[in-house]
């Protein structure tokens, strides 16, 4: 596969690596946490009509971003969000962001708790390469309540001030997502994981102010991931129909 990188189905690699825009059509981002590449690609293709982006994280560890991002990009016309939860000193964090984007990510998720300089370096680096950023405020698992929740509001404020395109807020605690929406205002994108396997219902976070819900296991562990994604997107569309139109245009 790697040796055929000059073109893919008539599309040049340069074209293939052009940034793709994240647009809320279904409000669902699929967390493709599947490390068998051919299975991952089958799933990505089957969910393509029902999701707005593919989020990739640990599943690149064996084959690397180069191969995984490339194969996902040429298989589906969706943006890729690299969920590396970047959390290093500014000089290293920004290199991670640059690498992820150059290898085909359209957006990168970074941790906010590392502080202003690291966040700033990542956001600037992503924007230099036309990528977008999401800063994690407070994670969706219960352990985040101890250390992350008390500083989450400050992280969200800083993310907005530094020009991040979005933040990550927990679908498992919709009242917190509502608070994060109040802090960042209407212009930042809120992406919320925790739907399905972690207990939140589809639509919970959207109702609380999120733009996208991240759904992983509920889709890729289903017997028919495409069908599962379709059903979730149908449920989501009922929820989104109830939202004021100002929410959907953002
Ligand atoms: O706070 C977070 N919670 C979370 O689950 C931030 C995340 N980025 N995630 C990611 O979302 C997690 O790493 C996984 O890729 C996805 C949730 O998957 P699932 O629980 O729907 O299977």
- The pLDDT value given to residue 7: 57
What pLDDT band is residue 2 in, cutting at 50, 70 and 90? very low
Extended beta strands in the chain, E state: 7-8, 11-12, 28-31, 53-56, 80-86, 107-111, 132-136, 166-168, 189-193, 212-215
What is the residue with the minimal CA distance to atom 3 of ligand 1?
140
The residue with tokens 């990009």 is 73
Probe ligand 1: pick from 84, 137, 194, max atoms within 8 Å of CB?
A: 194
What is the residue with the minimal CA distance to atom 18 of ligand 1?
216
Residues 152-174: what's their mean pLDDT? 98
- Percent pLDDT > 90 in the chain is 90
Dist CA 132 CA 243 (whole Å): 25
- Which atom of ligand 1 is closest in space to residue 198's alpha carbon? 20
How far does the centroid of ligand 1 lie from the alpha carbon of residue 3, in Å?
33
Dist CA 214 CA 219 (whole Å): 10
Dist CA 29 CA 227 (whole Å): 15
- The pLDDT value given to residue 1: 43
- The pLDDT value given to residue 128: 98
Domain ranges of the chain: 22-239
33 touches ligand 1 (CB under 6 Å): yes
Dist CA 113 CA 117 (whole Å): 11
Read off the tokens for 212.
């996208």
pLDDT (tens digit per residue) in 33-75 = 999 999 999 999 999 999 999 999 999 999 999 999 999 999 9
Extended beta strands in 160-209, E state: 166-168, 189-193
pLDDT (tens digit per residue) in 76-105 = 999 999 999 999 999 999 999 999 999 999
In the beta sheet, which residues pair with residue 12? 7
Read off the tokens for 100.
């992820």
Higher pLDDT, 128 or 244: 128
Residues 137-161: what's their mean pLDDT? 98
What is the residue with the minimal CA distance to atom 2 of ligand 1?
139
List all residues 6 or more positions away from 161 whose beta carbon is below 8 Å from its beta carbon.
none
pLDDT (tens digit per residue) in 201-245 = 999 999 999 999 999 999 999 999 999 999 999 999 999 999 988
Q: Given a cut of 80, is residue 246 above it in pLDDT? A: no
Average pLDDT, the chain: 95
List all residues 6 or more positions away from 141 whose beta carbon is below 8 Å from its beta carbon.
172, 198
Q: Given a cut of 60, is residue 249 above it in pLDDT? A: no
Give me the architecture of the 22-239 domain, per CATH. Answer: Alpha-Beta Barrel (3.20)
Probe ligand 1: pick from 59, 142, 143, 214, max atoms within 8 Å of CB?
A: 214
Which of 10-19, 62-71, 161-170, 235-244 is predicted with the least confidence, judged by mean pLDDT? 10-19
Q: What is the pTM of this model?
A: 0.95
Q: Given a cut of 90, is residue 145 above it in pLDDT? A: yes
Residues 20-31: what's their mean pLDDT? 98
What is the residue with the minimal CA distance to atom 14 of ligand 1?
31
- The pLDDT value given to residue 236: 98
- The pLDDT value given to residue 60: 96
């Amino acid at each position: 596969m790697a040796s055929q990188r000059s073109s893919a189905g008539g599309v040049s690699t340069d074209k293939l690596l052009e940034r793709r825009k994240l647009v809320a059509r279904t409000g669902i981002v699929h967390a493709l946490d599947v490390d068998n590449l051919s299975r991952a690609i089958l799933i990505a293709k089957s969910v393509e009509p029902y999701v707005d982006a593919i989020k990739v994280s640990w599943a690149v560890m064996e084959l690397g971003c180069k191969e995984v991002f490339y194969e996902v990009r040429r298989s589906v016309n969706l943006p890729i969000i690299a969920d590396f939860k970047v959390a290093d000193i500014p000089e290293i964090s920004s290199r991670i962001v640059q690498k992820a984007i150059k290898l085909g990510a359209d957006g990168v998720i970074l941790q906010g708790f590392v502080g202003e300089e690291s966040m700033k370096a990542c956001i600037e680096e992503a924007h230099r390469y036309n990528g977008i950023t999401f800063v994690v405020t407070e994670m969706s698992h219960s352990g985040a309540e101890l250390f992350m929740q008390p500083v989450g509001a400050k992280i969200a404020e800083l993310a907005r001030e530094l020009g991040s395109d979005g933040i990550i807020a927990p679908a498992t605690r919709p009242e917190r997502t509502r608070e994060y929406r109040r802090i960042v205002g209407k212009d930042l994108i809120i992406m919320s994981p925790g739907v399905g396997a972690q207990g939140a219902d589809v639509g919970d976070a959207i109702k609380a102010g999120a733009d996208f819900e991240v759904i992983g296991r509920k889709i890729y562990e289903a017997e028919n991931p495409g069908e599962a994604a379709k059903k979730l997107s149908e449920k989501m569309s009922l929820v989104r129909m109830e939202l004021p139109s100002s929410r959907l245009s953002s």
